[in-house]
Amino acid sequence: MAPLTRQQTFKGEYAIELTDVKKSFDQGKDFILKGIDLKIPRESLTAIIGFSGTGKSVMLKHILGLYEPTSGKVEVLGQDLSELNNNDLTKFRCNYGVLFQSAALFDDMSVLENVCFPLDEHRRHLKKDQVIQIAYDKLKMVGLDPKHFEKLPSQISGGMQKRTGLARALALDPEILIYDEPTTGLDPILTEMVDNLILETHKLNQGTTSVMVSHDLAAAFRIADFIVMLDAGRVLLSGTAQDFFKSDIELVKRFVDKGMKH
């Protein structure tokens, strides 16, 4: 693996802080997020879990600055996102690396070009061969065979697409890595592969804060060191896996029971 060159700038205790975040899409008639208070520790691997429709994706979009909260505050790496204008927010997003559920690879670019893309955009001082070298290193880091590098995303398997998506997310050595339901719709073998990849990537990229949104409770307990459970737009419980096993909250118990059976 190539040595990481990222210079850590943020030294606070929490990489992401949400304070009483509320979100309504219909002028306050109905709230999707009903006052989220959440602190995600820096350098942790945090899993955000919950049933469908509990506001996980909406919360994630607030963290990414794609949605503005109706009220409340979202701070990422000590920066209040509401204080940033559109241009600054666009630049600030270089601190994120995101692996989407569908991998979201650009279908008119090869695997290698997909990983080169963020480097071409934000590391303009680098020469083309340096960009390609970094992209090669990232693709090898996620375990993709070089024989697939020149293929289009449609010519590789779902697992390889996830690996490419992860390599692209890692291209800029982001401070925060976000996994948006990375294993939804995958078979058990591929699910385990992706879970291991997340864990391995987190260990290899020292200093990175990883946030994984997932339905997969077993994976969350296995790989995450901090877990947040959402229910009906609120944080129901946050803590370690042990805190969840010990919890007396009925919904948490049910979720844990069901999750561990699968």
Partner 1 sequence: MSADWVLKTAHGMDQFFFTIKNKIQNFITLIGEMTLFGYDSLKLLFAQPYRYGEILKQMEFVGNQSMGIIALTSTFTGLALSFQVYLGFKLVNAVNLVGPTVALGITRELGPVLTGLIVAARAGGAMAARLGTMRVNEQMDALDVMGVNTKQYLIAPRIIAAIICMPLLTALFDFMAMFGCWFLCIKIVGLDQAIFFEKISETLEVTHINEGLFKSAIFGLLFGVICTFKGFHTTGGAKGVGEATNRGVVISMVSIIIIDYFLMNIIRIYYLVSGIGRGF
Task: Select 69 or 97, whichever has its Cβ closest to partner 1.
Answer: 97
- Is residue 140 part of the contact set for partner 1 (CB under 8 A)? no
Tell me the C-alpha distance between 6 and 26, whole Å: 41
- Is residue 68 part of the contact set for partner 1 (CB under 8 A)? no
**Which residue in the set 37, 78, 80, 91 belongs to the binding site for partner 1 (CB under 8 A)?**
91
Whole-Å CA distances, 139 to 106, 164, 170: 16, 7, 9
Inter-axis angle of helices 111-122 and 158-170, to 10 degrees? 20
Give me the 108-127 binding string for partner 1, x by CB under 8 A, dash otherwise.
---------xx--xx-x---
Q: Which of 228, 199, 181, 243 is nearest to 41 (CA)?
A: 228
- Is residue 162 part of the contact set for partner 1 (CB under 8 A)? no
The residue behind tokens 């429709």 is 53
- Is residue 98 part of the contact set for partner 1 (CB under 8 A)? yes
Task: Select 13 or 108, whichever has its Cβ closest to partner 1.
Answer: 108
Whole-Å CA distances, 125 to 27, 120, 137: 45, 9, 19
Q: What is the CA 132 to chain-centroid distance, rounded?
A: 24
Q: Which of 70, 79, 60, 64 is nearest to 182 (CA)?
A: 60
- Is residue 102 part of the contact set for partner 1 (CB under 8 A)? yes
Six-digit token string for 258:
């069901």
- Is residue 155 part of the contact set for partner 1 (CB under 8 A)? no
Write the DSSP symbol of residue 233: T
**Which residue in the set 1, 66, 204, 260 belongs to the binding site for partner 1 (CB under 8 A)?**
66
Give the E-state strand segments of 52-146 in sequence order: 71-76, 79-80, 96-99
- Is residue 196 part of the contact set for partner 1 (CB under 8 A)? no
- Is residue 105 part of the contact set for partner 1 (CB under 8 A)? yes
Radius of gyration of the chain (CA): 18
- Is residue 145 part of the contact set for partner 1 (CB under 8 A)? no
CB 94 → partner 1: shortest distance, Å? 4
- Is residue 128 part of the contact set for partner 1 (CB under 8 A)? no
- Is residue 51 part of the contact set for partner 1 (CB under 8 A)? no
Q: Which residues bind partner 1 (CB under 8 A)?
A: 64, 66, 87, 90-94, 96, 98, 100-102, 104-107, 117-118, 121-122, 124, 172, 178
